[in-house]
Amino acid sequence: MSFYLPFGEWVYLCIKKDNMSAILDRFLSYVKIDTQSDPNNPAFPSTEKQWTLAKILEQELKDIGMTEVTLDENCYIMATLESNVDYQVPTIGFVAHIDTSPDYTGTNVNPQIHENYDGSAITLNKEEGIVLDPNEFEDLLLYKGKTLITTDGLTLLGADDKAGVTEIVSAMEYLVQHPEIKHGKIRICFTPDEEVGKGAHKFDVQKFGAEWAYTMDGSEIGELEYENFNAAGAKVKIHGKIVHPGYAKGKMVNSILIASQFIESLPKDEIPQMTEGYEGFYHLNQINGLVETTELNYIIRDHDRAKFEQRKKDFLGVADKINEEWGKTVVEVEMKDQYYNMREKVEPVMHIVDIAEQAMKNLGITPKIKAIRGGTDGSQLSYMGLPCPNIFAGGHNFHGRHEYVPLESIEKAIEVIVEIARLTAEKKV
């Protein structure tokens, strides 16, 4: 006779009954706070406005009854939920990030609520003609009858990763209020600057003190990931020469045209919109150009480490070839690795993935175990000694105006956190 599924159903009913409105209110309050990070600012955190949400969370965690609540000088919030069992249980953790993507504005987020979604196109902004259409975004059809939270078409939503923050806070509050659910010591952390690749750079793993953790930073319901891209960022600076165009013959060097040559020299089918699964890519995500100087910002990704290293060499080779053609350095590349595939660090402790998979099954969720076409704080944390698979947070279409999240997916993620905590204590891993 199985104890798991009935308990999972009970947890679900209690969470839904007790907290549905509070969960929505919590999420909406978070996304309305602008926490956009800045890849061009070396400060930590990269934007002062991230402190606003950090300070709110610091107080909220104290208010819901957590202990050891700290907000350090680098904008990391940590807190503890003490064990309520009298035997040894591994300390586990849950992590989410408070910043939103620099790719799209997070100022004046005005979330829209669409109850009982009927599967038709949603007009986000009538004046601008901005529509969230299932003909373009097929995943919408998975959520007929659900409550969708969208943007108003003018900003991103910030479900990446304020849905994850909401889920962790709500799960901890629920466990505090329901001591009949047995669990070991749980540590949580909210990080800054994940979207600019720095979220784990000043994470104090020793202070956190968990044996393993989970980032709540995935997308659709059921996602469970322990593989991710190897990642590098590259800044390409191209030098030209400006003179009056009427007297330019033999003198002008147009850096914009050289930039175009650089772009065209990379494989045209190895870009995000033409790749999937384990396929890597080069992604040009920013360009600023004048005749005299043009700058290109790229991210370089591949799951396979050898292919990743070759991809970086090929990228540098394009610059070398152009410089050779000019007989001087007109293209300079600054390249830096950002993170690596966490699979190497998680596979030796696969029981931590198994627990999350079992938790989902207990709750009637079909686990979708796949590789992340991106990265999380967990990829860096895994190499810092904190194995850290990634779990769905529920959102879709991150980093843009078409971002949305079903409220029910947030609720399910909360249930998964609670069930992982319960299973870990029950199994005494």
Cis omega (within 30 of 0) on the bond before 348? Answer: no
DSSP 8-state assignment for residue 151: -
Task: Choose the catalytic residue: 58, 194, 377, 419.
Answer: 194
Give me the amino acid identity at 93: G
For the question of residue 211 being annotated catalytic, the response is no
The architecture of the domain spanning 4-228+341-427 is 3-Layer(aba) Sandwich (3.40)
Note the pLDDT of residue 373. Answer: 87
> For 173-201, what is each residue's pLDDT tens digit?
999 999 999 999 999 999 999 999 899 99
Number of CB atoms found within 10 A of residue 381's CB: 28
Beta carbons of 259 and 246 less than 8 angstroms apart: no
pLDDT below 70 — which residues of the chain?
Answer: 1-18, 428-429
Topology (CATH level 3) of domain 230-339:
Alpha-Beta Plaits (3.30.70)
Note the pLDDT of residue 338. Answer: 87
Give me the amino acid identity at 283: H
Beta carbons of 393 and 159 less than 8 angstroms apart: yes
Note the pLDDT of residue 11. Answer: 53
Cis omega (within 30 of 0) on the bond before 99? Answer: no
Beta carbons of 223 and 96 less than 8 angstroms apart: no
Q: Residue 122: beta bridge partners?
A: 132
Q: How many alpha carbons lie under 13 Å from residue 252 in its C-beta half-sphere?
A: 14
DSSP assignment of 264-300 equals HHS-TT-SGGG--TT--EEEEEEEEE-SSEEEEEEEE
Gap between the Cα atoms of 264 and 357, Å rounded: 43
Nearest to 101 by CA among 286, 228, 333: 286
Beta carbons of 60 and 173 less than 8 angstroms apart: no
Note the pLDDT of residue 2. Answer: 34
Beta carbons of 169 and 19 less than 8 angstroms apart: no
pTM (2 d.p.):
0.85
Q: How far is CA 180 from CA 38, 54, 83, 329, in A?
A: 43, 30, 12, 68
Note the pLDDT of residue 13. Answer: 53
E strands present in 161-276: 186-191, 212-218, 223-227, 230-239
- Long-range Cβ pairs for the range 308-314 (8 Å, 24+): 308/229, 308/230, 308/232, 308/280, 311/280, 311/282, 312/232
Count of positions (residues) in the chain: 429
Beta carbons of 418 and 363 less than 8 angstroms apart: no
Beta carbons of 429 and 90 less than 8 angstroms apart: yes
Task: Choose the catalytic residue: 99, 211, 223, 302.
Answer: 99
Task: Please give the structure tokens belonging to residue 80.
Answer: 């503890």
> For 80-124, what is each residue's pLDDT tens digit?
999 999 999 999 999 999 999 999 999 999 999 999 999 999 999
Gap between the Cα atoms of 293 and 242, Å rounded: 9
Nearest to 57 by CA among 201, 217, 188: 188
Beta carbons of 135 and 121 less than 8 angstroms apart: yes
Domain ranges, ordered by start, for the chain: 4-228+341-427, 230-339
Gap between the Cα atoms of 387 and 381, Å rounded: 7
Look-up of token digits 């390409």? 236
